[in-house]
Amino acid sequence: MIIPIRCFTCGKLIADKWEDFARRVKAGEEAGKVLDSLGVKRYCCRRMLLSHIEIADEIIKFYEVAGKGKQLRGQ
Partner 1 sequence: MNVEILEKTDTNLRFVIRDADAPFVNALRRIIISEVPCMAIDEVVILENSSMIQDEVLAHRLGLVPIKTDLNAYNLREECVCKSKFGCNLCRVALTLDVEATDTTTVYSGSLVSENAAIVPVSANIPLVKLAPGQKLKLEADVRLGRGKEHAKWQPVAVCAYKNMPQIKINPKLCDACGECVKVCPKAVFAVAEGKVEVRNLLACTLCLDCVDACPKNPKAVEVTWDKNTFIFNLESTGALPPERILQEAVKILDKKTADFLKELAGEKDETS
Which residues are at the interface with partner 1 (CB under 8 A)?
1-7, 10-13, 15-16, 18-19, 42, 56-57, 59-60, 63-64, 66-68, 70-71
Among left, alpha and beta (phi > 0; psi -120 to 50; other), residue 21 is alpha
To partner 1, the closest distance from the beta carbon of 3 in angstroms equals: 6
Give the nearer residue to partner 1 in terms of CB position, either 4 or 32: 4
Phi, psi dihedrals of residue 13, rounded to the nearest 5°: -70, 120
Rounded least distance, CB 14 to partner 1, Å: 9
